[in-house]
Amino acid sequence: MTRRLLAFALTLGLACGGEAAAAPVQIDGALPHGGAYVLRPDAGASTASLALWFRAPSDGYDGAAPGIAQLAAASCAAVRLAGGKSLADSVRSLGGRLVLGGEPDMVSIDVIVPAGSARRALAALTSAYFASTPDAASYALALRDSAVRGVERRYSPDLAMHDALLARMFASGPAHVPVLPGTADAYTGIPLAGVAAFAKRAFAAPNAFLALAGAVDASVLDAVTDGDPNAAASAAPIDSLPGPAGATANVAGAVSGLVYGYAGPSIRDERASTALDFISDYLFDPDRGIVSSRLRDSETNVTGHFLTFHDPGVTVVSISGGDLELAATEVRAAIAAMATPLSPDAFAAARRAFAYRSARGWSSPAALADDLAWYAVQGDPGYAPGDASGTYARSIASLDPAFVASVARRYLQTPTVVHLTAEKGSPS
C-alpha cells in the first residue's frame, strides 16, 4: 500500500503555473487473492463510485464468440447471491446505478451509490464477479439485456462509427469485431456453458482492477469477497493486430456518418500520447475546439478523441449529421495544420485550457474511478490523468509546440476512413 500526496500537489502547481494545490489522498494496494485496487476518498462527495474492470477479449479467448464478454458480465450481475439478491437487485435497493461496458480488450462494471452505501455495494459487486457462476436464470436475463444494448449501440452514431472503424483498422483480434453485436441471434449462439467458463477465467480476482472514488474510505475494503485462491493469474494487456493504414471502406449500418482513425503510439510513450490528447482537445473540445467552433452553426456533429489503448492507441474522429463532406474538409485541414507548430502564445493558452479540461474530465467520482481503472487495465496505472502521482500533469507541462507538431506529423498522416451509410428504413 502506498500513499501519493506530495508529488501530485507539486506537479499540479507546476502545470498550471500557480502555487501548489491541496493534495488528494490516494491509496494503492493488492486485493486479498491478487488483483489491485486504488482508493480515492472524497469526503465532500454525495456518491461513491466503484469501478471493477478486467482485462478480457470481448469476443472470447478463442476469438469465436463476439459479445461473450458483455453477456458474461450481464449474467454475473443477474446471479442470485447468498442473500437472495443479485448484484443488479442489490444496487437497485441501495438507490444506485449499475453500468456495464467495455472495449475490445476489457470489461467494465461500474456501480454508483449514494453516500453511506459503498460497503454493501462493494460486497455485492465482488461476490457477483469473484465468487458466482452464471446459471440458466441469470443467463436468460442477460441475453435480453445484451440484445437490447447491442441494438442501441448500432443506433448510436458515435458508438456505431467507433465499432466500424476499429473493425477496419485492425486485421485480427478482438478489436476486429464489435464489443456488442447488434442482433439478438449473435447472443443466443453463445451457450451458457461457454459464458460460465469465460466468466470463471475473465472475472477471477487476480485479473481485477478495482477503483473506488468519492464517499468511500479504506474501511470498506473489508467488504471485498475473497474469491477463489486458485484462480487464474492476471492476464497481460490484450492487443489486436493493426491492418495496413490508409484503407477506405463503405459500410452499411443503422446510422450514417464518416469516421477517421489514426494509429498512435503505445501507452508507454506517455509524452506522445499526451500530445495526441492535447491535439484532440485543441481541435475537438465540444465548446472550445477549433473544428467544433468552425462547425458550430452547421448541423454536423464532430467528435475527436485519442483512445489510450495499450498498443497502439487510436485517434478517432467521427462526423455525423449535416453535410459530412464539408465537415470532413474542415477536419482534414485542421489536422494537417497541426503539423506546423502553434505560436508560443496560442500554444500556452491552449495548454492551460487543456490542463483545466483534462482535470474537469475526471472531477466526479464516477469519472475518476473510470479514469483510474482504464489506465490500470491498459498497463500504465500511474499515467492515468487522475492519478495522484501527477505523472499526467507533468506530461502536459512537458509539451511544447515543436513536439506537438512532430507528433502530428508522425501519427496523424494516414487515416483509415469508414463511410457508414444508413440502410433503408433506418433513421439517418
- Residues of this chain that interact with other proteins (CB under 8 A) are 12-13, 16-25, 40-48, 74, 77-78, 88, 91-100, 112-118, 141-142, 144-145, 148-149, 152, 155-156, 215, 287-288, 296-297, 349, 352-353, 355-356, 359-360, 363-366, 427
Q: How far is the CB of 101 from other proteins (least distance, A)?
A: 9
Cell of 276: 495526441
CB 110 within 8 A of CB 369: yes
Cβ proximity to other proteins: between 318 and 416 the closer is 318
CA–CA gap between residue 393 and residue 5 (Å, rounded): 14
Q: Which is nearer to other proteins, 8 or 309 (CB)?
A: 8
The answer to whether the CB of 106 falls within 8 A of the CB of 55 is: yes
Helices assigned H by DSSP within 285-323:
290-294
**Least gap, CB of 356 to other proteins (angstroms):** 4
- CB contact at 8 A, 275 and 403: yes
In the complex, minimum distance from the CB of residue 416 to other proteins, in angstroms, rounded to a whole number: 26
Q: Pick from 132, 134, 133, 119: which is nearest to 224 by CA?
A: 119
| Shortest Å, Cβ 196 to other proteins | 17
Cβ(35)–Cβ(226) below 8 Å: no
CB of 279 to other proteins, least distance (A): 17
Q: Would you say 113 or 208 has its CB closer to other proteins?
A: 113
- Shortest distance, position 12 Cβ to other proteins, whole Å: 6
CA distance 240 to 331: 27
CB nearer to other proteins: pick between 260 and 347: 347
Pick the closer one to other proteins by CB: 268 or 296: 296
User: Could you tell me where the DSSP H helices lie in 252-364?
Assistant: 270-284, 290-294, 324-337, 344-361
Is the Cβ of residue 147 or residue 169 nearer to other proteins in the bound state?
Answer: 147
Give, in degrees to the nearest 5, the angle at Cα 65 between 189 and 151.
70
Nearer to other proteins, 70 or 240 (CB): 70
> Residue 54: helix, strand or coil by DSSP?
strand
Minimum gap (Å) between residue 144 Cβ and other proteins: 7
Residue pair 225/126 in contact by the 8 Å Cβ criterion: yes
Query: Side by side, which strands form the sheet with 314-320?
Result: 248-253, 416-422, 257-263, 314-320, 301-307
Measured from the CB atom, the residue of 80 and 332 that comes closer to other proteins is: 80
- Spatial separation of the C-alpha atoms in residues 362 and 384, rounded to whole Å: 10
- How many CB atoms are closer than 10 A to CB 64? 12
> Which residue has cell 443466443?
188
The single-letter code of the amino acid at 324 is: L
d(CA 69, CA 224): 22
Return the closest-CA partner of residue 27 out of 184, 191, 218: 218
ω into residue 312 within 30 of 0, thus cis?
A: yes
The residue (of 127 and 240) whose beta carbon lies closer to other proteins is 127
Decide whether 216 or 338 has the Cβ nearer to other proteins. 216
**Which CB sits closer to other proteins, 129 or 411?**
129
Residues 6+ apart with CB under 8 A from 170: 104, 176, 240, 241, 242, 243
Parallel, antiparallel, or unpaired: how do β-strands 248-253 and 416-422 relate? parallel
Q: How far is CA 33 from CA 206, 227, 233, 379, in A?
A: 6, 7, 10, 19
Q: 38 forms bridges with which residues in the sheet?
A: 28, 211
